[in-house]
Structure 1
Amino acid sequence: MTDIIDEFEGYKPKSIKILSKFGAKTWSKIRIETQVGISEGTILPRNKYAPDGFVEIKLKNGYNIGIFLDETTKIEVLSQEPKMEVKFDPITPPRNKKLPNLVLMGTGGTISSRLDYVTGGVIPAFKPAELYAAVPELSNVCNLETEVVYQIFSENMKPKYWLQLAQSIAKKINTGVEGVLVAHGTDTLSYTSSALAFLLKDLQVPVVCVGSQRSSDRPSSDAAMNLINAASIAGTSDIAEVVVAMLGSSAHDYGFIHRGTRVRKMHSSARHAFRSIDTPPLGMIRENQISMFTSDYQKRSNNQIETTAAKNIEEKVGMVYAYPGMPIDLLDYYLDKNYKGIVIAGTGLGHVPSDLFKSLARAQDAKVPVIMTVQTLWGFTGMDVYENGREIQSYGVIPGQNMLPEVAMTKLAWILGNYSNETEITDLISSNIAGEITLGEPINGYQIYQGVESQIPSQIKNNSNLKQQKSSKKKKK
């Protein structure tokens, strides 16, 4: 049975029966004739979650297609190809004394993954050293040391992992490296970047978090460009804080430099998915040339100050999304489970249903700090405007100003893990520690630098032409 599974990776009984009839199996090069036509290609493993009765082949042009199989199908096996594996042998390139010395710390994620043909998903696979081999252009940018910290998808990140990562980064920085790259899955990249911004103190070099929306073995992957951009930022910029480097436009011709506490993944699949919220990005990188949009960031210095990482982090911090009809026991759950802090993503200017007020009072009595943020993402809490907001504050809820909900969560985890004085905790929550709170929303914070500016004129023109064509067709009718 195992042999059959190995020969027909991911295929189900109906497909296996027809393929076996002609002696075909995965990685067979075939010529297949159906009622639709004739195709030639190599049989790929099939997504085991896909329906039965199909064969998937890779054509000569590199595209994959699925072909329906039935009793009329004819298959000619042309040859048996070796199993396709995307593999990069780790290499150690010669060191160039003129280039900066960087360290790439791998945690997993799509940037260090490959496609699993059988499941149709991506799996952690590449070590950082293999990434270097996959992107040889890095040798023109830096001398790169690699270290595997974790090999997990970002949805499996935990607060204790942020702490361990921060401690590893601080240790590396103090050995004299000129910049740090953190290869990370994009789904929770903004959580990690903000956590590192709070956990690391006295940074003297850039810590650049980087990911990719498509796995490294795909021709359409953004991994190479993002890695090269990140290495350029880590090695040549004057930044000395935690930032995120990802593609900035749908044309994939430049990358943005986002502050680690003001960035969020804003699209589930687009490669230019990351946006700075409530503020423009810190800068742009195009063809290894960095252009900063502001001078308001932490800069490198010649001070021989040791970078340190926090010693603790509080893992029991909950986050709640306010919504109409939310049950009153939702906050009580966290309090019953002895959570030490709660972040609320409130509606509008920072509101929750009044049914929850008793739970807020309970949190206040238990000295559990509650931070209110806004689920609109852009904009500030305004809890003095409406009666609801004023009453919420009377229960000790702390306005989060314009902190993103996930940033408030990582900040609270850092604060509660390292401070115990109630007044000090409240003051730290309301203070701008790592650029997580801005004084106001600039006019260009919401409307521009969203990665589509250069495409807007052509999009408007295309839409106008389409309307004219439709109008013309109607007139002809």
Structure 2
Amino acid sequence: MTTRFVSGDLVQCNHGGKIRKGVYITERDGMAVLKMDSGYNIGVAPRSCSVIGHPEPVPGKNLEVKQNSKLPNLSIVSTGGTIASRIDYRTGSVTSQFNANDILIAIPELAEIANYRTIPLATILSENMTPTIWQDLARAVYDEIRGGARGIIVTHGTDTMAYSAAALSFMIDTPVPIIFTGSQRSADRPSSDNAMNAICAAAAATSELGEVAVVMHATTSDDICSIHRGTRVRKMHTSRRDAFRSLGISPIGEIEFPSRKVTLEESAVRRDAHTLALHNKIESHCALVQFYPGMSPEILKAYNGYKGLVIAGTGLGHVSTALIPALARLINAGTMVVMTSQCMHGRVCDRVYDTGRDLLAAGVIEAGDTLPEAALVKLMWVLANENNRENAAGLMQSDLKGECTRRSAYGL
């Protein structure tokens, strides 16, 4: 008689002469697919397996987390992502299901740091983030600060976290820390970074910081988290726990773990340096394009009618000569075209080579050392808040929230 398995069953199997234990996900191509404790999936013969139990139930959604009202008041705004994910045993993949309250249940150490309000804004993986959700997020964060929160934690998927952190940097003048955090590996994996990142984020949110930042592992060990400025950070690895790096500047601080000691650099904006203000208008009809050798000018026709276009050019900010007339036509039709560089470090300077000079003559705007993703978000924000084209161009070349440094430091 063939054993019938149900997704989520704990099973043990005789595989390769060894007993393997895991969680049954599904049957595919005649093999039982198991999720191992390591987080990886394997396929085994179903006839070699037997049910030995069931996974522990997920804590109830209505479970109350005991908090200490004497601690600082923080708000956790949840948007989803891996930090708020668990395994979907129907597919064996990670799915975003937990809200902010679930994070408090899963990481009880957070209750030692602050008293929390939880706002489940969205339950999405970060590739599904949109400018409209950025606006909702900015409004929610603004309302929490206005309501008395001494700091904000935004839980977010790591893949597009840099875009969202940049968006809030421009949308909110904040007197308190707004800390984005997430995890590279879901909570079901022994190597998960979710707990440490969340605890470090809470420590940063109670610190003297006064700007939007990203807090994630600084090393592959569980010893230090880095604090990255929201407009100068990029995810540099698909899966490493220390995937995030500050580009063009050093991190603006760090948190030691498990002591939770926060050290801020002199360059970090301090608490109460700004008066709270919300500017969450955004022009979403903008795009980011990376130039590549042989790129056809025909591609740029897809952006006819766009309000803004950011180009990630080569080196000092170049595209092929063949593209310049097409860019000029876009600019003459009303599209603001901004040039950034594909390089990790350094700045755009289109006055060195003939191609660069031709781009400037066509009306392309240099964005200094602004990162392409930050330049896109900034362009969306500038075009929504400044109607005068000359003024908008000036803003794109100015440093508003630490996104564009006056000079590029050697070695960064």
Bin of the TM-score, shorter chain as denominator length: over 0.9
State the SS of the aligned residue for 1:229: helix
More strand per residue? 2
What is the CA-CA distance between 1:323 and the residue it aligns to?
0.4
| Alignment counterpart, residue 278 of structure 1, candidates 229, 248, 252 | 248
Instruction: Give the structure 2 partner of residue 200 of structure 1.
Output: 172
Equivalent residue pairs, number:
409
The letter for the 1-side match of 2:19 is S
Structure-1 separation of matches of 2:2 and 2:202: 51
Partner of 1:325: 294
User: Deviation per CA, 1:256-285, whole angstroms, max 9, x where unpaired?
Assistant: 000000000000010110000011100110
Partner of 1:69: 45
Q: 8 Å contact 1:88–1:133 — kept in the other structure?
A: no
**Structure 2 letter corresponding to 1:130:** D
- Residue 151 of structure 1 aligns to a residue in which SS? strand
Does residue 379 of structure 1 match 2:359?
A: no
**After the TM superposition, which residues 230-269 of structure 1 pair with which residues of structure 2 at under 5 Å, given as runs?**
230-235=201-206, 237-269=207-239
Structure 2 partner of 1:124: 96
Identify if the C-alpha distance between structure 1 residues 98 and 376 changes in structure 2 by more than 3 Å, giving closer, same or farther.
same
Where 2:195 maps in the other structure, the secondary structure is helix
From 19, 23, 36, the counterpart of 1:39: 19
Unaligned runs of 5+ in 1: 1-20, 446-477
Equivalence map 1:292-303=2 (5 Å): 292=264, 294-301=265-272
User: Counterpart amino acid of 1:160?
Assistant: T
1:177 corresponds to which residue?
149
Aligned to 2:320: 353
How far apart in 2 are the matches of 1:74 and 1:204? 61
Q: CA deviation at 1:55?
A: 2.6
CA offsets per residue over residues 425-461 of structure 1, 9 Å max, x none? 011111100000112222452xxxxxxxxxxxxxxxx
When residues 40 and 419 of structure 1 are mapped into structure 2, their CA distance, relative to the original with a 3 A threshold, is closer
Say which structure is richer in helix: 1
**How well do the aligned residues superpose, as a CA RMSD in angstroms?**
2.3
When normalised by structure 1's length, the TM-score is: 0.81
Paired residue for 2:163?
191
How big is the shift at 1:97? Answer: 4.2
Q: Which residue of 2 aligns with 1:16?
A: none
Candidates 387, 399, 402, aligned match of 1:435: 402
Give the deviation of 1:377 after TM superposition.
2.4
How far the C-alpha of 1:190 sits from its partner, in A, is 0.2
From 399, 405, 419, give the equivalent of 2:386.
Answer: 419
Query: By how many angstroms is 1:42 displaced?
Result: 5.4
Alpha-carbon distance change, 74 to 423 in structure 1, aligned in 2, over 3 angstroms: closer
Q: Following TM superposition, where does structure 1 have runs of at least 4 consecutive aligned residues deviating by more than 6 angstroms?
A: 61-65
CA deviation string 1:352-389 (max 9, x = no partner):
11111111211221232111000112111121111111
CA displacement at 1:44 relative to structure 2: 1.1
CA offsets, 1:123-145, max 9 Å, x none? 11111101100000001011011
Instruction: Specify the alignment match of 1:23 in structure 2.
Output: 3
Question: Rg: which structure is higher?
Answer: 1
CA–CA distance in structure 1, aligned partners of residues 2 and 75 of structure 2 = 52
> Counterpart in 2 of 1:212?
183
8 Å contact kept, 2:218–2:225: yes
Q: Which amino acid aligns with 2:190?
A: P
Amino acid at match of 1:104: I
Tell me the SS of whatever aligns to 1:149. Answer: strand
| Counterpart among 43, 64, 84 of residue 112 in structure 1 | 84
- Report the alpha carbon displacement of residue 233 of structure 1 after superposing the two structures with TM: 0.5
% identity of equivalent residues: 37
Give the letter aligned to residue 125 of structure 1: Q
